[in-house]
Structure 1
Amino acid sequence: MKRKSITSRDVAHLAGVSQSAVSRSFSQASSVSEKTRKKVMDAARQLGYRPNTIARSLITRSSRTIAVVTYSLQNPFYAYLLEKASRFLQEQGYHLLLFFAPKNGDFDMVVDDLIRSQVEGVLMLAITLNQHQAKEVADFGIPVVIINRTVEYSGISQVGSDNYQGGYWAGRYLASQGCQRIAYLAGIPESTTNRQREEGFKAGLATEGQTCFAYDVGYYRYDEACDATRRLFSTRRPETMPDALFAANDLMAIAGMETLRDELHLSVPEGVSVIGFDDMAMSAWPSHSLTTLQQPVEQMIVKATELLLNHISHPEAPPEQIILPVTPKIRRSTRPVGNPPIYNRGDK
């Protein structure tokens, strides 16, 4: 025998509430007393009822769904951002759909998927867009907020941190600590975060009368950063080898430290001072103790999601560009002031 379909009316009858109270109880963004919500949930569990969110979206013309678009979650910092965004939006009664963008920058397929999915808004997590791509996304009429990237297009809201000032602090700090040969390990060269951090870094060095000693690219990835570190330190002559390294994110800084210590037998910080950028959780682990620039993750997520929800509710609201300050976190991967580098590679 076919089982009778349980409806919200059945739940309302058992719980002794109105049918609209049942609907509101299953919407976290709706106003309903905790006492009523508990009665409804108890009745729903007893009857085995689950709300039909697809049917509801057809009635209300609201999918209560937000898309998050990113390239990869290999960087723990982005996974952390995604977790924070997901938890915040869940509290507002929204669901998340995750889309991975192609690394070649072709967004046509992603945009088609977003439209078919009927999402109400889009968070772009560390996505690099040019002006044409940004305008193309905005022209579809779906509210968009970019996190941790900037684009030279005023038609999309953007939330990021002060990458230039962070790079400036790193360059000036290393030079003021007595480092003489300071290298830069770049992320994705064309990304706005990398360009801003690199420009700030070079400006910070210049205030101390220095220039960038050596340069290589790690593309914000662990394996590529290990390879880049090997190239930067391939010489066996200490006077031609960097005595400090600023990496454009923490993942590359940790890759650099592990390569320096385990493969090249250089001490950190006695031989090489290292600074990263992000302050992801593992950067503070005792085995790393990485000096870094802390991005204000909580603020970034709150600002970005508030902006997005405001654009959904008020489509006429103008886009905003928000830049938040970064905070230096000094740990044991950099030398104290005035201490010269000590090499212990065992070179003869």
Structure 2
Amino acid sequence: MAEKITSLQVAQRAGVSQSAVSRVFTPGASVSKKTEEKVRKAAEELGYRPNVLARAMVSGKSRIIGLVVGYLDNYFYPEALAKLSNGLQEHGYHVLIFMASRSAGNIDDVMEEILDYQVDGVVLASVPMSSDIATRCQQAGVPVVLFNRSQDIEGITTVTSDNYAGGRKVAEFLLAGGHERIGYISGWQGASTQRDREAGFRAVLSEAGRSVFAVQDGMFHTENAQAAARQMFDVDPDERPDAVFVANDHMALAVMDVIRFELGLSIPEDVSVVGYDDVPPAGWPAYNLTTIRQRANLMVAETVAALLDHIQNPDAAEPRKVAIDGPLVVRTSARLPRGWTPQRTET
């Protein structure tokens, strides 16, 4: 086995000090362009690779962010998490991804494991956390940002869409379209996104003297959403909704398939369907789904900025509650109110 090349050997080859070599391979460190070029050239010639773990032990900074993900079935998350990883990498951080279930107990177990990696920060993407583990992170000096979830835990920053306002927009749109029997297929009840969307939706119906005609639980899963659609629409015509708000697009696409291909109903002639997220398939001609757009670029930018602020200014950074407004993207899966035309709202 070949002998491992050291930073001292690189320094000797480049004609610089060993500390200069260290600065070249430390993100954010100050070093002249000429010195950097000499060091990188010598490192390439010798086949040198810096020991990131050793550097972290010395500096106390791992340059690693722990990213906890509940599930990736929904098209929204792979795209958003890719943007999040790229955004952090632009600032010299690497992302370590952990998968976790929805239960708070499981999240706590995963978080304990993450803290063992000496991460500089944590992003929880669409998963909850307990107040106990939040306290544990704060005691360890590890900032946490919740992405696409909101919780009332002191000292924790959250970044979401304005889900309450989004739910209101859907109800206002369906009422303006003249619908009389408006149904709702919910997401997982443990998610703040689900609760806020439903609350805004119900509030507008209540203000109009109306109530939800039928409700089924889709759990944010395809199979549950399909079963919910069958229970809601495989009934006599006067017993089924003439419109349905589905709590996210992942479920709405499955609901549309059941309505059209299993039950033989037409969209939007027999029933209007509105979703939430504006995932890529929502714009495909096969679905052309009217939906609320989650502005992933803005959500990611806010998350990265907040996390870096907490890392760089641990004593001064204040926790934030960010809720980003999402536009209604009007397509053809729902009956159009008079004077409306289908169009795609740009980010």
> TM-score with structure 1 length normalisation?
0.89
**Does 2:292 correspond to 1:293?**
yes
Alignment of 1:84-103 (within 5 A): 84-103=83-102
Q: Where do 5+ consecutive residues of structure 1 fail to align? A: 340-348
Quick one: structure 1 residues 120 and 234, their matched pair in 2 at CA, closer, same or farther if it must change by over 3 Å?
same
Cross-structure match for 2:322: 322
Q: CA deviation at 1:8?
A: 2.7
Q: CA deviation at 1:138?
A: 3.8
Q: CA deviation at 1:154?
A: 2.8
Cross-structure match for 1:227: 227
Cross-structure match for 1:335: 335
Question: Is the contact made by 1:124 and 1:146 (CA closer than 8 Å) also made in structure 2?
Answer: yes
Aligned equivalents of 1:4, 1:248: Cα separation in 2: 58
**Does 2:62 correspond to 1:79?**
no
Cross-structure match for 2:343: none
Cross-structure match for 2:259: 260
Quick one: structure 1 residues 7 and 133, their matched pair in 2 at CA, closer, same or farther if it must change by over 3 Å?
closer
Q: CA deviation at 1:33?
A: 6.3
* CA RMSD, 1 decimal: 2.2
Aligned equivalents of 2:266, 2:28: Cα separation in 1: 53
Q: Where do 5+ consecutive residues of structure 2 fail to align? A: 340-347
- What count of residue pairs does the alignment treat as equivalent? 337
Alignment of 1:236-247 (within 5 A): 237-247=236-246
Q: Deviations over 1:245-283 (max 9, x none)?
A: 111111011111111111111111222111111112221
Q: Deviations over 1:160-215 (max 9, x none)?
A: 11101000000110111011111111001232111110010012223443211110
Cross-structure match for 2:125: 125
Q: CA deviation at 1:46?
A: 2.9
Quick one: structure 1 residues 297 and 45, their matched pair in 2 at CA, closer, same or farther if it must change by over 3 Å?
same
> TM-score with structure 2 length normalisation?
0.89
Q: CA deviation at 1:100?
A: 2.0
Alignment of 1:86-235 (within 5 A): 86-106=85-105, 107-129=107-129, 131=131, 134-135=134-135, 137-235=137-235
Cross-structure match for 1:69: 68
Aligned equivalents of 1:31, 1:212: Cα separation in 2: 61
* Partner secondary structure for residue 160 of structure 2: strand
* Partner secondary structure for residue 10 of structure 2: helix
Aligned equivalents of 2:137, 2:165: Cα separation in 1: 29
Aligned equivalents of 1:325, 1:6: Cα separation in 2: 52
Aligned equivalents of 2:47, 2:175: Cα separation in 1: 66
Q: CA deviation at 1:56?
A: 0.8
